[in-house]
């Protein structure tokens, strides 16, 4: 690898030298593969897996490096091996289709006795990735400040970076994103004259849609790149819309004022478990009497959340530093213990997210030449493809879900 690649991707450029761990990984992976309807093919002609000749193919190009990475750290090494090119998809195999059977069996691939040793091998979240006010800004910069132009190459024209809500098989991504935004605004009761707070501005689409309803919008973000483009988009929406929106570069813990409606789309995933009480209590404290909250949250089953809450994986290392997905039960417990709020409506959209991610990945692949021209290298390409396909598989199997949650004070609901 070039010096530039080694400097930018040290975890990918250097193969672990751990022969014993590599042998152990090989011993565990072979019987695990026999449970999955895929084919793992090796350069010497060996084939593992329970799949037939037409099953998705995982082509192991560099077996020694592949098993070394898996043995060093299974949760991170599998993705790093794809980034490094140690394995890839076979001819005619889509990456998400290959990952889906694994995601569908994720809880049972490792033998139960070995699962009990998770605490001995799982890495904890690095201290510098904790979501303090300073840590959150650093974590957000590492993802959302990559480049507005990068995100524009695969998102729809509204620049909405969250699950859409499709009304039909033929509906466009933009129309489905507009339906999703309307669903959030309807849950929060946003209309003419509503004082609305948005936690996490994104690139401004939801704020614009709320202002078009006649709401007075305060939207906050800690992403400099997103804020700059959002302000341009507010101006482009016209003076009437722009006059109804105030954008502030502040953390949610620095909010001021009282609001009739509070909305936040796929932001809780970046809050961090230790700060959930502060996050929800802040919403509670700034919600006016009779007000409503609508949050779109990516979730996982409670038993999976409990099993993984203290571990550090590939997604956290390369995509969302400091991230943690809650379970619906974890949200309910936090609300009950730290707020006067309760969930009063739930709208699950998990399969819609699988389709959203597939459309993003298709656009990313189609526009790779332009992304590459922005300075993103082939390792980044494989990282981003793996991220989008990995998430698509999770939502397609139901391992992950995304839900629009309405919250109110029970005594005021109605």
**Mean predicted confidence (pLDDT) in 64-90:** 95
**Mean predicted confidence (pLDDT) in 89-101:** 97
Q: Which secondary-structure segment (H or E) carries 198?
A: strand 195-199
**Mean predicted confidence (pLDDT) in 161-169:** 97
Whether pLDDT at 3 is above 70: no
Distances 65 to 38, 83, 155, 377 between C-alpha atoms, Å: 21, 12, 34, 21
pLDDT band at 5 (very low <50, low <70, confident <90, very high): low
Sheet containing 216-221: give its strands across: 245-249, 216-221, 195-199, 259-265, 287-300, 400-408, 342-348
pTM of the model: 0.92
Cβ atoms within 10 Å of 373's Cβ, excluding its own: 9
**Mean predicted confidence (pLDDT) in 156-164:** 97
Whether pLDDT at 363 is above 90: yes
> Helices then strands (H, E): number in the chain?
21, 11
Q: What is the pLDDT of residue 207?
A: 98
Q: What is the pLDDT of residue 14?
A: 86
Give the bridge partners for 217, in sequence order.
196, 245
- Name the residue among 142, 129, 82, 153 with its Cα closest to residue 322: 129
pLDDT band at 120 (very low <50, low <70, confident <90, very high): very low
Instruction: Give tens-digit pLDDT for 379-397.
Output: 999 999 999 999 999 999 9
Q: What is the pLDDT of residue 6?
A: 57
Q: What is the pLDDT of residue 118?
A: 46
Q: Domain residues of the chain, as ranges?
A: 3-121, 128-412
Strongest mean pLDDT among 69-78, 171-180, 319-328: 171-180
Q: What is the pLDDT of residue 386?
A: 98
**Mean predicted confidence (pLDDT) in 149-153:** 95
Q: What is the DSSP letter of 98?
A: H
Distance CA 246, CA 219 (A): 6
Distance CA 384, CA 70 (A): 20
The pLDDT > 70 percentage for the chain reads: 89
**Mean predicted confidence (pLDDT) in 272-295:** 97
pLDDT band at 110 (very low <50, low <70, confident <90, very high): low
* Matching CATH number, 128-412, of 3.40.50.150, 3.40.50.300, 3.30.70.2660, 3.40.50.1360: 3.40.50.150
Give 123-180 as a DSSP string: PPPPGGGS-SHHHHHHHHHHHHTS-HHHHHTTS-TT---S----SSTT--HHHHHHHH
Distance CA 66, CA 343 (A): 45
Cβ atoms within 10 Å of 352's Cβ, excluding its own: 19
Q: What is the pLDDT of residue 321?
A: 86
């Amino acid at each position: 690898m070039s010096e530039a690649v080694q400097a930018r991707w040290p975890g990918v450029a250097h193969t672990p030298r751990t022969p014993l761990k590599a042998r152990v990984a090989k011993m565990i992976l072979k019987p695990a593969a026999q449970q999955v309807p895929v084919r793992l093919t090796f350069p010497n002609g060996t084939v593992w897996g329970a799949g037939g000749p037409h099953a998705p193919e995982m082509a192991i190009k560099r077996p020694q490096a592949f098993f070394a990475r898996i043995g060093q750290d299974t949760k991170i090494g599998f993705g790093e091996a794809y980034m490094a090119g140690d394995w890839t998809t076979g001819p005619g195999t889509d990456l998400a289709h290959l990952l889906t059977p694994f995601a569908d069996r994720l809880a049972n691939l490792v033998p139960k006795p070995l699962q009990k040793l998770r605490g001995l091998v799982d890495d904890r979240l690095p201290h510098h990735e904790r979501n303090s006010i300073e840590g959150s800004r650093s974590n957000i910069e590492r993802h959302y400040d990559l480049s507005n132009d990068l995100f524009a190459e695969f998102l729809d024209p509204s620049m909405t970076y969250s699950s859409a809500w499709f009304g039909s098989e033929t509906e466009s991504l933009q129309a489905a994103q507009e339906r999703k935004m309307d669903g959030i605004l309807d849950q929060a009761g946003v209309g003419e004259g509503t004082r609305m707070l948005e936690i996490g501005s994104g690139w401004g689409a939801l704020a614009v849609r709320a202002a078009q309803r006649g709401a007075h919008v305060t939207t906050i973000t800690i992403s400099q790149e997103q804020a700059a483009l959002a302000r341009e988009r507010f101006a482009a929406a016209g003076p009437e819309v722009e006059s109804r929106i105030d954008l502030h570069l502040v953390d949610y813990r620095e909010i001021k004022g009282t609001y009739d409606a509070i909305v936040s789309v796929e932001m809780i995933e970046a809050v961090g478990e230790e700060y959930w009480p502060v996050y929800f209590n802040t919403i509670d404290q700034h919600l006016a009497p009779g007000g409503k909250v609508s949050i779109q949250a990516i979730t996982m089953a409670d038993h999976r959340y409990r099993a993984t809450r203290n571990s550090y994986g590939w997604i956290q290392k390369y995509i969302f530093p400091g991230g943690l997905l809650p379970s619906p039960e974890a949200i309910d417990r936090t609300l009950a213990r730290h707020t006067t709020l309760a969930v009063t409506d739930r709208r699950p959209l998990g399969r819609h997210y699988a389709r959203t991610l597939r459309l993003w990945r298709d656009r990313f692949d189609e526009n790779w030449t332009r992304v590459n021209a922005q300075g993103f290298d082939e390792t980044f390409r494989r990282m981003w493809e793996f991220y989008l396909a990995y998430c698509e598989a999770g939502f397609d199997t139901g391992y992950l879900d995304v839900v629009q949650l309405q919250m109110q004070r029970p005594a005021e609901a109605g």
